[in-house]
Amino acid sequence: MGGESRYEAYEADLWERLARLLPSAVAGENFRDCRATGSQEAGLWILIRQLIEHRVPISDRTRAEIEVLAEQWGERLARHDEIVSCEQDSDVEPSIRLLPDESSSPVDPGRLGITDSNLTGLLVVPWLECLRCGRVLDRVHVMEPWGDLRYLADYYTVRRHTAPDVEPEVFDGSDLHSAFELLLTCT
């Protein structure tokens, strides 16, 4: 791997797994080419279009991985509704899920028992949940003066909604992969 970070290795593996979901070799190759040329945003568009148009069933974990990939490349807002609308693979037991929009309203960190001073004045948006252990991955945003959340998250937290007295792990906005990795490790 010669100098490749864990995240880069994970992302390369993820793109390969996602390419294999696509209904044709040409679509898979076009998707891979987007990553190779630094056009990840276009690749996400190709992936999601193909999944929807061909009604390719995906697991909840794959849906979460696509959502995290879209967040990593600044495409989550543009692609979220499409990702949610992808066909559900009913043969796979749910393990991780995107929280429904009605459960993802921004809240003050204190309402979730989060006391980290770095998050004071910010808003927490519950995002992904591990159904086995109760961990939740949240996006943490600044509220813009005009009333919308800042486009990109400033932090991510991983907390157990089943143990609100335990302080969550806080990750810098550039460390999304580590937060997602922690969400996926059930104890």
Per-residue pLDDT of 96-147, as tens digits, reads: 889 887 778 899 998 888 888 999 999 999 999 998 888 999 999 999 899 8
Give the mean model confidence (pLDDT) for residues 4-19.
86
State the residue for tokens 């204190």.
Answer: 110
pLDDT band at 3 (very low <50, low <70, confident <90, very high): low
Mean pLDDT of the chain: 89
Q: Is the distance from CB of 158 to CB of 169 less than 8 angstroms?
A: yes
Name which of 171, 147, 149, 145 is nearest 158 in CA terms.
Answer: 171
Mean pLDDT within 6-25: 91
Q: What is the pLDDT of residues 139-180, one digit of tens each?
A: 999 998 998 888 899 999 999 876 667 789 999 999 999 999
Q: Which residue has the higher pLDDT, 58 or 90?
A: 58
Domains of the chain and CATH, by start = 6-85 (no CATH), 96-183 (3.30.70)
Look at residue 1 in the predicted model and tell me its pLDDT. 44
Tens of pLDDT, residues 64-86: 999 999 999 999 989 999 999 99
State yes or no: pLDDT of 27 exceeds 90.
yes
Task: Please state, as a whole number, how many other Cβ atoms lie within 10 Å of the Cβ of residue 182.
Answer: 17
Q: How much is the pTM?
A: 0.90
